[in-house]
């Protein structure tokens, strides 16, 4: 039996990849195709159904995206979301008009009442919250359809012609704010379209490996491996696909966390790839000696990094492909102004100018972070790598306030290790977006045994955040903080005080420098 396919027809909505991700979460393979794809091409894929996405247009605009009307007589079920719902209604004789009152334009969380006799909503509560984002409004329902949901402002929040398997929802079931959105998509796929759930991340892995082999052929691939989740999973994927044609350059700048360099190297030992670990600690520390200004530190690290990578690139000579661990949120962010903050950071994304290559490959660009982690597991990467929290390119340099020395780095490395160890023992590691120890530039008086000490204060930081643009500090249990504090002052030489940072972002940032 061949694998079932869902076609998502893309009308330019902002959540389209999220629809694809939800379908994958339901265990069904899907492809996102532009709305201009000829019907014959869609038919050739033998989909079990089509999903029309949202989009920024109005269906009554002269140049609005359309579909071949034959799509409605072909006999496959269709789910239209937002613009997709309006387009289906418009194409089948309904009427879509601009919402005349501000109240009828709905944006955001909206109480919605459902007809639970409809297959999409069966066994779900009669009332729940949906996420709306529309300025047009379906005034007349096409023949054969009935209303299956309404809100106070909008009598046509959902429509259905169940005999043909046509469903339209004005709201967005794919976003988390729609309380039972995932269940509705699941019902559409399984109860309306007969999905079997025959797709998994293992499948994605096999398909991607096969596609990469074909694309790369006998070519050489270069990858700057940072040890972060994305670049590690990408390295594993390429290692699986092309083995020794891949060269990973891992620059250990001496600003890594405890054991990190060895862990990254060990994770790739099972593959036959060219793994180049550049131990550049001395070079970085020499360049950073005496520098206290945060931006200057970042610049030096960025420049040194590029130089080291460039030197390695020269040794390798020309390569055919430069692989990058871009993931879907990066793709979205690069289009949005807000992303500028992250992009100005130093990471390996800025390398292509310095390396002689023919093409860039980005096999993870359609995946969300947790899907990348899942893929990593599929490839057999160790759990500590796959679940690793974000770690900035300039590493511990951002967590040592003021001048960086080997001694200070060792202190922060040990303290950070203890914090991570205790958080893991408490079962709380996964509940924080990012957490670490930083070394303040402050020394203070303490007493240990019978003697006076004059040592550093270590700050602990733990934040929770959706997007790292804003963040809140985590209310960690006092007894965990106590254990971490006791262990740090006992086990880490040079520290006599532990502080917990209770500042959110803004006004503070996540990192210290
Ligand atoms: P801030 O300190 O800006 O951190 O609130 C937000 C997120 O970005 C990470 N970060 C960086 N990541 N290169 C990176 O790759 C950098 O230069 C950099 N600076 C901060 C930080 O760890 C947090 O996740």
402-460 per-position pLDDT tens digit: 999 999 999 999 999 999 999 999 999 989 999 999 999 999 999 988 899 999 999 99
| Residue ranges of domains in the chain | 5-192, 201-386, 405-500
- Reported CATH class of domain 405-500: alpha beta
Q: What is the dihedral of CA 489, 493, 499, 501, to 10 degrees?
A: -130
Rounded to the nearest integer, the mean pLDDT of the chain is 91
Question: Would you state the pLDDT for residue 104?
Answer: 63
Closest CA to 510 of 475, 467, 471: 471
Q: Which of 172, 186, 253, 346 is catalytic?
A: 172
Expressed in angstroms and rounded, the spacing between residue 253 Cα and the centre of ligand 1 is 17
pLDDT band per the 50, 70, 90 thresholds, residue 99? confident
- For residue 228, which atom of ligand 1 is closest to its CA? 15
Q: Is 174 a catalytic residue?
A: yes
Q: Is the CB of 325 under 6 A from ligand 1?
A: no
Q: Which of 314-323, 394-403, 443-452 shows the lowest per-residue confidence on average (mean pLDDT)?
A: 314-323
5-192 and 201-386 have identical folds = yes
How many angstroms separate the CA atoms of 454 and 495, rounded?
Answer: 9
Q: Mean of the pLDDT values across residues 152-160?
A: 91
CB distance 227 to ligand 1 below 6 Å? no
CATH superfamily of 201-386: HUPs (3.40.50.620)
pLDDT band at 341 (very low <50, low <70, confident <90, very high): very low
Ligand 1 contacts CB of residue 105 (under 6 A): no
Of 185-189, 266-270, 365-369, the range with the lowest mean pLDDT is 365-369
Distance CA 118, CA 147 (A): 10
Cα distance between residue 440 and residue 266, in whole Å: 32
Residue 347 near ligand 1, beta carbon < 6 Å: yes
Could you tell me how many residues make up the chain? 513
CA distance 72 to 58: 20
The 3-state secondary structure of 307-352, one letter per residue: HHHHHHHHHHCCEEEEECCCCHHHHHHHHCHHHHHHHCCCCHHHCH
pLDDT tens readout for residues 15-31: 888 999 999 999 999 98
Range name among 83-87, 96-100, 405-409 with the lowest pLDDT average:
96-100
Identify whether the C-beta of residue 303 lies closer than 8 Å to the C-beta of residue 253.
Answer: no
Query: By the 8 A CB rule, do 288 and 301 touch?
Result: yes
Distance in angstroms (rounded) separating the CA atoms of residues 7 and 30: 6
**Domain 5-192 listed as CATH 3.40.50.10490:** no
Q: Determine the pLDDT at residue 333.
A: 52
Confidence of residue 153 (pLDDT cuts 50, 70, 90): confident
Q: What mean pLDDT is predicted for residues 323-329? A: 86
Give the number of the atom of ligand 1 that is nearest the alpha carbon of residue 509.
5
Tens of pLDDT, residue by residue over 201-255, are 998 999 999 999 999 999 999 998 988 899 999 999 999 999 999 999 999 999 9
Largest CA distance in the chain: 89
DSSP 188: I
Please confirm, yes or no, whether 172 is among the known catalytic residues. Answer: yes
What is the predicted pLDDT for the residue at 336? 35
For 375-411, b/e burial (b = at least 16 CB within 10 A) is: bbbbbebeeebbebeebbbbbbbbbbbbebeeebbbb
The better pLDDT of the pair 340, 485 is held by: 485
> Which pLDDT does position 313 carry in this prediction?
82
């Amino acid at each position: 039996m061949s694998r079932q396919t869902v076609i998502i027809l893309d009308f330019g909505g902002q959540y389209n990849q999220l629809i694809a991700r939800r379908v994958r979460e339901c265990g069904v393979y899907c492809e996102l195709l532009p709305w201009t794809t000829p019907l014959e091409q869609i038919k050739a894929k033998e989909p079990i159904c089509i999903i029309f996405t949202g989009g920024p247009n109005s269906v009554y605009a002269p140049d609005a995206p359309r579909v071949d009307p034959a799509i409605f007589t072909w006999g496959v079920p269709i789910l239209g979301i937002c613009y997709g719902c309006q387009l289906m209604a418009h194409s089948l004789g309904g009427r879509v008009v601009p919402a005349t009152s501000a109240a009828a334009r709905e944006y955001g969380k909206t109480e919605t009442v459902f007809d639970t006799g409809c297959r999409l909503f069966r066994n779900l509560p009669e009332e729940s919250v949906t996420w709306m984002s529309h300025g047009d409004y379906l005034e007349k329902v096409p023949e054969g359809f009935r209303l299956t949901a309404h809100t106070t402002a909008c009598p046509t929040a959902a429509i259905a012609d169940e005999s043909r398997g046509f469903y339209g929802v004005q709201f967005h079931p794919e976003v988390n704010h729609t309380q039972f959105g995932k269940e509705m998509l699941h019902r559409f796929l399984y109860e309306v379209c007969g999905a079997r759930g025959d797709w998994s991340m293992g499948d994605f892995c096999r398909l991607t490996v096969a596609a990469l082999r074909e694309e790369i052929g006998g070519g050489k691939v270069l990858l700057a491996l940072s040890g972060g989740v994305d670049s590690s999973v990408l390295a594993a994927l390429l290692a699986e696909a092309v083995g020794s044609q891949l060269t990973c350059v891992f620059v250990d700048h001496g600003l890594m966390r405890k054991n990190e360099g060895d862990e990254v190297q060990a994770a790739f030992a099972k593959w036959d790839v060219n793994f180049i670990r550049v131990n550049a600690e001395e070079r970085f520390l020499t360049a950073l000696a005496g520098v206290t200004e945060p931006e200057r530190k970042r610049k030096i690290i960025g420049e040194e990094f590029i130089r080291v990578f460039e030197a390695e690139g020269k040794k390798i000579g020309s390569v055919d492909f430069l692989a990058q661990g871009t993931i879907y949120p990066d793709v979205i962010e690069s289009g949005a102004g807000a992303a500028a903050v992250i992009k100005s950071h130093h990471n390996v994304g800025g390398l292509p100018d310095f390396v002689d290559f023919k093409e860039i490959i980005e096999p993870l660009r359609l995946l969300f972070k947790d899907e990348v982690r899942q893929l990593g597991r599929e490839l057999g990467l160790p759990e500590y790598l796959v679940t690793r929290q974000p770690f900035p390119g300039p590493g511990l340099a951002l967590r040592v306030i003021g001048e960086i020395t080997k001694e200070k780095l060792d202190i922060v490395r040990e303290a950070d290790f203890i914090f991570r160890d205790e958080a893991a023992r408490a079962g709380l590691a996964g509940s924080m977006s990012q957490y670490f120890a930083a070394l303040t530039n402050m020394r203070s008086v303490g007493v240990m045994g019978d003697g006076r000490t004059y040592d550093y204060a270590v700050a602990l930081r733990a934040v929770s955040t959706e997007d790292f643009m804003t963040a809140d500090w985590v209310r960690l249990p006092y007894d965990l903080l106590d254990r971490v504090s006791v262990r740090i002052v006992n086990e880490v030489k040079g520290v006599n005080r532990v502080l917990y940072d209770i500042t959110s972002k803004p006004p503070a940032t996540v990192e210290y420098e």
